[in-house]
Amino acid sequence: MDLIVHSLYSHKEVFLRELVSNASDALDKLRFLSVTDPSVLADGGDMEIRIKPDPDAGTITITDSGIGMTKDELKDCLGTIAQSGTSKFLKALKENKELGADNGLIGQFGVGFYSAFLVAEKVVVSTKSPKTDKQYIWEAEANSSSYVIREETDPEKMLTRGTQITLFLREDDKYEFADPTRIQGLVKNYSQFVSFPIFTWQEKSRTVEVEEEESKETEETAEGEKEKKKKTITEKYWDWELANETKPIWMRNPKEVEETEYNEFYKKAFNEFLDPLAHAHFTTEGEVEFRSVLYIPGMAPLSNEEIMNPKTKNIRLYVKRVFISDDFDGELFPRYLSFVKGVVDSNDLPLNVSREILQESRIVRIMRKRLVRKTFDMIQDIADKDEKEDYKKFWESFGKFMKLGCIEDSGNQKRLAPLLRFYSSKNETDLISLDQYVENMPETQKAIYYIATDSLQSAKTAPFLEKLLQKDIEVLYLIEPIDEVAIQNLQTYKEKKFVDISKEDLELGDEDEDKEESKQEYTLLCDWIKQQLGDKVAKVQISKRLSSSPCVLVSGKFGWSANMERLMKAQTLGDTSSLEFMRGRRIFEINPEHPIVKDLSAACKNEPESTEAKRAVELLYETALISSGYTPESPAELGGKIYEMMTIALGGRWGRSGTEEAETNVNDSSEAVVTEVVEPSEVRTENENDPWRD
């Protein structure tokens, strides 16, 4: 007994689940026996369970109109720990083939009754079996090693049939478990889907009309003249309330259940206010048999803590319609499917004695595999609908979950990849699937091209796109932080590799002799620029991806992209020591057709030591940093260089000179304030070279 009370159960509240399950078994046994012997139902009333907490007395009384027990059965079942009356009953049923065998009974280990001592210091059981005319009382205390059985002689306490269990609660548990609201909540949580009605004793209120008390002035008035005034008051009273009105919808044939019934069950069971986007109702047979109803919620969780939390209590496990657990820590569903809500019910799961933990991990793995497969089928059905608005809603709410799945679940990537949606260079307003992308690819295209940035606008204006847009090649825009990692984990789709257009060695299949000659012609320029930039870049080369921009900075094949580098720098717990290692090398690509590059090529050949040319290279590199998605090491220094170039470019452009400015200040100075005239650092005449003039 000490072992059961202190070691077997994790939570005290399960005592009510165990006792209600015993009452349900007693009613089931009566129902089975009544098939061959209808007399057992005589004068017993409805088959039901009633629970009456008494806060004043500190007791809970649980009454059922089931089969009851004889004196011998009391000794055998309650007087002996781990002796299951239900197991014996099932064994007898199997031996008697006429009655048939049924596995819907809940009892299994013969210890559930003793969970009452988790909260009770004394338990009194009064029971009446149809097999005998006598009613017996079994009584025991938690700290005693003995029990008492006596015959009930008080006529007022006589039962027609069934069992009444009275728990005298401990001082510590009296205030919690004698509370009617708490009992109602426990019944709804653990025993909501028990086959028989469960009534709890609840305080209710109603409005009634009463006559107002008459004042002395009213009494003095004549009887014929006075009228009785009435007022409405709220009156409290106690009555029985049905606690398990929601029926187990998963026990019915899916063909017989209407869509509205599924939605209603979802809202009641999970306290939701929106209809689900989809549901799946199925039965699995084989090594593990279970029934399940799964739902895709109508919206994502409002709380950030619930997003992608493996410990969400969205999947409720029942065994024979009795709630067992909803705390699986990712065992039944992977983290990226933690938003799925549903019920799983089985008759033969291998539970431990406290019925709180699944014992065989192999069984859990089989269940997980089947539940995940059904979930993917359900999501795919939404995607295949003609009404695309439903999948749009799903993607807005749970798209990040699908991308997380590509990272965490390599075994299901083939199921996840068709569900992904992205914007692209040809679909900037509507999301497209990878299937649509592949269908639109020309036959000569061998890869799926993408670019990862922080927004749709920066993706559309990125210099990496220029040549691909000219060639009418579609590029996927990865604009969410998780996108790039998800695509890198997929690697291929339908035998097409994913290629990041912001990395080196971009192959567009357009190599020709002219470009080879161009490379040779600009080899000297590339070497000169590399000499100026030093270790800032790994190398300088002619670009295949530029058409209008002068240059771009691309990442090495095996390093982080600019987008990934930005994300890793933003990590709160990021390791700064790994940034340099993972940053990878940077390649500076130039566009030989651009005027700036042509001017630099001339400077390289004619005046390689020119200070202005070297400053132009520095500014070109730092501008390429920004346009390529990198962060400049010193934004203020870059700003200073831009201001300096603007000063050179704008000086004297509109004919304003230092003398004119001084004269204007003198003429306008009616006050005794002397205005300081600042001379421009350099004034160019119209005949001199102006970098801003065409």
Q: Does residue 143 have a known ligand-binding role?
A: no
Q: Does residue 18 have a known ligand-binding role?
A: yes
427: three-class secondary structure by DSSP: strand
DSSP 191: S
Please report how the helices 523-533 and 611-627 are oriented relative to each other, as an axis angle in degrees rounded to 10: 80
Q: Does residue 22 have a known ligand-binding role?
A: yes
The number of beta carbons lying within 10 Å of the beta carbon of residue 613 is 19
Asked if 201 contacts 240 with a C-beta cutoff of 8 angstroms, the reply is yes
Q: Which residues contact 203 (CB under 8 A, 6 or more apart)?
A: 180, 236, 237, 238
Q: Does residue 68 have a known ligand-binding role?
A: no
Asked if 166 contacts 61 with a C-beta cutoff of 8 angstroms, the reply is yes
Rounded CA-CA distance 248/193 in Å is 5
Asked if 117 contacts 108 with a C-beta cutoff of 8 angstroms, the reply is no
Positive or negative torsion for Cα 310, 312, 318, 323: positive
Question: How many CA atoms does the CB half-sphere of 42 hold within 13 Å?
Answer: 7
Q: Does residue 110 have a known ligand-binding role?
A: yes
Q: SS3 sequence, 254-292?
A: HHHCCHHHHHHHHHHHHCCCCCCCEEEEEEECCCCCEEE
Q: Does residue 113 have a known ligand-binding role?
A: yes
575: three-class secondary structure by DSSP: coil
With CA atoms as reference, report the closest residue to 406 among 292, 498, 500, 300: 498
Instruction: Sort residue 661 into left (φ over 0), alpha (ψ -120 to 50) or beta.
Output: alpha
Q: Does residue 633 have a known ligand-binding role?
A: no
Give the strands of the sheet with 421-424, arranged side by side: 427-433, 421-424, 475-478, 447-452, 496-500, 492-493
Q: Does residue 109 have a known ligand-binding role?
A: yes
Q: Does residue 124 have a known ligand-binding role?
A: no
Question: How many CA atoms does the CB half-sphere of 632 hold within 13 Å?
Answer: 17
Rounded CA-CA distance 604/610 in Å is 9
Rounded CA-CA distance 437/431 in Å is 11
Beta bridge partners of 500: 450
Q: Does residue 376 have a known ligand-binding role?
A: no
Q: Which residues contact 424 (CB under 8 A, 6 or more apart)?
A: 432, 437, 474, 475, 476, 477
Q: Does residue 646 have a known ligand-binding role?
A: no
Tokens (6 digits) for 587? 């390649």
The beta-strand segments (E) located in 32-161 are 49-54, 59-64, 120-128, 135-141, 147-151
Q: What is the DSSP string of 561-573?
A: -HHHHHHHHT-TT
Backbone angles phi, psi at 44, to 5 degrees: -105, -5
The number of beta carbons lying within 10 Å of the beta carbon of residue 135 is 20
Give the Cα-Cα-Cα angle 195, 196, 199 (nearest 5 degrees): 135
With CA atoms as reference, report the closest residue to 680 among 638, 643, 637, 641: 643
Question: How many CA atoms does the CB half-sphere of 3 hold within 13 Å?
Answer: 5
Q: SS3 sequence, 286-352?
A: CCCCEEEEEEECCCCCCCHHHCCCCCCCCEEEEECCEEEECCCCCCCCCHHHCCCEEEEEECCCCEC
Q: Does residue 108 have a known ligand-binding role?
A: yes
Q: Does residue 164 have a known ligand-binding role?
A: no
Residue stretches of the annotated binding site for ATP? 18, 22, 64, 69, 84-85, 108-113, 163, 355
Residue stretches of the annotated binding site? 18, 22, 64, 69, 84-85, 108-113, 163, 355
